[in-house]
């Protein structure tokens, strides 16, 4: 992916991954390895948390569509490699928001 074209967003607008779309990967080892590495990256890159969570849901049986989603995340990271959270000692003020869409999952709404 070193020569891949960078992207400005980690996910295609309106795209929903499904367990039943795409051809099953012959060997999901690379998929699981890359997604596992992306999970560790979440400590400093919370902007990819949602899309990484989405691809993690298909680690048991990844397809070509899921692999394409992972490659899109990698292309996004290539485009913004110089952005990250930097943790420094300071006072802590945490604010959290949640936006759930349980009916949006095409597999088990």
Residue ranges of domains in the chain: 19-87
Residues 72-86, mean pLDDT to the nearest whole number? 86
Cβ atoms within 10 Å, residue 48: 19
Residue pair 59/29 in contact (Cβ under 8 Å)? The answer is no
- In the chain, DSSP assigns E strands to none
Distance, in Å, from the CA atom of 87 to the CA atom of 80, rounded to the nearest integer, reads 18
81 pLDDT above the threshold of 90? no
Residue pair 32/66 in contact (Cβ under 8 Å)? The answer is no
Look up the pTM and report it. 0.76
Task: Work out the percent of the chain whose per-residue pLDDT is above 90.
Answer: 47
Distance, in Å, from the CA atom of 109 to the CA atom of 103, rounded to the nearest integer, reads 5
85 DSSP assignment: -
79 pLDDT above the threshold of 70? yes
């Amino acid at each position: 992916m070193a020569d891949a074209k960078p992207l400005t967003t980690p996910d295609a607008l309106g795209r929903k991954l499904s367990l039943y779309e795409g051809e099953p990967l012959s060997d999901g080892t690379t998929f699981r390895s890359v997604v596992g590495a992306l999970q560790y990256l979440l400590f400093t890159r919370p902007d990819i948390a949602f899309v990484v969570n989405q691809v993690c849901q298909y680690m048991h049986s990844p397809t070509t569509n899921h692999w394409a989603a992972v490659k899109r995340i990698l292309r996004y990271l290539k485009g913004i490699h110089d952005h990250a959270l930097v943790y420094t000692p300071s006072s802590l003020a945490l604010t959290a928001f949640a936006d759930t869409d349980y009916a949006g999952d095409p597999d088990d709404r």
